């Protein structure tokens, strides 16, 4: 059976369409750099207060046997990628199936699929350790 949810639902193991900020409309306001930074800060605060997560620095050596969630935003979208306890990366684009993604793509400066109209997730990379 196909997972019924978006990238955030998959990352958090909840079969639903979730969002990292309070209102869906927050995503659709054309953000200036300042507004986007505020939205990312709000997203981080919402995620860490709602789920059992700890934000880690990008240059931190990731622990083995630990799940991590990677997060970035595009101008009008957001995306989550999961690093499993076995060290493999997976993500889910909207209504599509879950797919594996290379570490090279995860650590790239911008996340995109190479398709012409896809968003480019080019905000600062945010990494969360999933706490037990």
Would you list the domain boundaries of the chain? Answer: 7-110
- Nearest of 16, 20, 11, 18 to residue 98 by alpha carbon: 11
Average pLDDT taken over every residue of the chain: 82
Residue 33 pLDDT > 60, yes or no?
Answer: no
- Binned at pLDDT 50, 70 and 90, residue 99 comes out as very high
pTM for the full predicted model: 0.84
8 Å CB contact between 82 and 12: no
The predicted structure's pLDDT at residue 34: 61
Closest CA to 119 of 79, 82, 65, 84: 79
The enclosing H or E element of 55 equals strand 53-56
Please tell me the distance from the alpha carbon of residue 29 to that of residue 1, in angstroms, as a whole number: 35
| Local confidence band at 20 (pLDDT 50, 70, 90 cut-offs) | confident
In 63-125, beta strands by DSSP E: 68-74, 77-83, 89-92, 98-101
Q: How far is Cα 84 from Cα 73, in angstroms, rounded to an integer?
A: 21
Please compute the mean of the pLDDT values over residues 113-119 and round it to a whole number. Answer: 66
């Amino acid at each position: 059976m196909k997972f019924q949810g978006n990238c955030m639902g998959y990352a958090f193991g909840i079969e639903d369409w979730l969002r990292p900020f309070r209102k869906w409309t927050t995503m659709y306001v054309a953000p200036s750099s300042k507004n986007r930074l505020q939205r990312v800060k709000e997203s981080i605060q919402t995620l860490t207060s709602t789920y059992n997560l700890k934000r880690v620095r990008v240059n931190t050596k990731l622990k083995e046997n630990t799940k991590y969630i990677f997060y970035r935003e595009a101008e009008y979208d957001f995306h989550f990628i999961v690093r499993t306890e076995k060290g493999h990366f997976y993500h889910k684009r909207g209504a599509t199936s879950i797919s594996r993604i290379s570490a090279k793509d995860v650590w790239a400066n911008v996340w995109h699929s190479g398709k012409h109209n896809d968003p480019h997730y080019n905000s600062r990379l945010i990494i969360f350790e999933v706490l037990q």
